[in-house]
Chain A
Amino acid sequence: EVQLVESGGVVVQAGGSLRLSCAASGFSFGDYAMHWVRQAPGKGLEWVSVINWDATETYYADSVKGRFIISRDNNKYSLYLQMNSLRNADTALYYCAKDTGSGTYLFDSWGQGTLVTVSS
C-alpha cells in the first residue's frame, strides 16, 4: 500500500523559511516523479512543484518560482520542499503527491498534508 506522510508544517513569520518533508513507502519511490500541491484554507487545489525520478528536472508554479526548492533523496524514500521568503499567501495545507509515471502530472496517491501558516 502506498503511503505518503508529510511533516514540517508550522507557524512561521512572513519572510521566514521552512522545510517540508514527505516520507514515502509502499512503492518504488525512485521510479516516479513526485509533486507538491497546496490548498489554502477553504480554497481549491494549487499545484506547486514537480521533481522527476532522478532529480535532474524540476518545475515550479509561477507563484513560488525563485522562492521554493523541491528535492528528493531516493535512498531515503523522501521528498522535500524548501520554502524561502514566505508570504501570507503561502498559508496552506501542503500535500505530497505521487505521479502516475515519469511526469504525467496525474496524481494517484496523496499524503494527508502538513499545514503551513505564515503570520505577519
Chain B
Amino acid sequence: GNSVTQMEGPVTLSEEAFLTINCTYTATGYPSLFWYVQYPGEGLQLLLKATKADDKGSNKGFEATYRKETTSFHLEKGSVQVSDSAVYFCALIVSYNQGGKLIFGQGTELSVKP
C-alpha cells in the first residue's frame, strides 16, 4: 500500500540552527510529494510540493528534493526561527485520477528556542 514515514518528534532546536526532518514513502504508483505545516492554533497549510523525481520544492526558506532512488523527501532549512515552531506533515498523492486524497505521515513537531 501507500504510506509515509517521518522521523519522530519533538525536535527542539535553537534559533538559526539547521533543520532536517526526514520523510520516506512507499507508493505503488508515481506519487507527488508535499509538506504541510500546522502552526499553533491554525489550520493545516501547504508549505511546498514536488511532482516528479529530482524536483525541488521551496517556500519560506524551506526546501525538499524528490529523491526517487531513495524514496525520500526530506525537509530542510538552513536557519530556523522561533516562528517556524509548528507540526510538519509529509504527504503524498499517488494519482490525481485516484481522487487526490492526501496520505499523511504522522507529523513531526518542531520547537525552536530563542
Q: Do A and B bind each other?
A: no
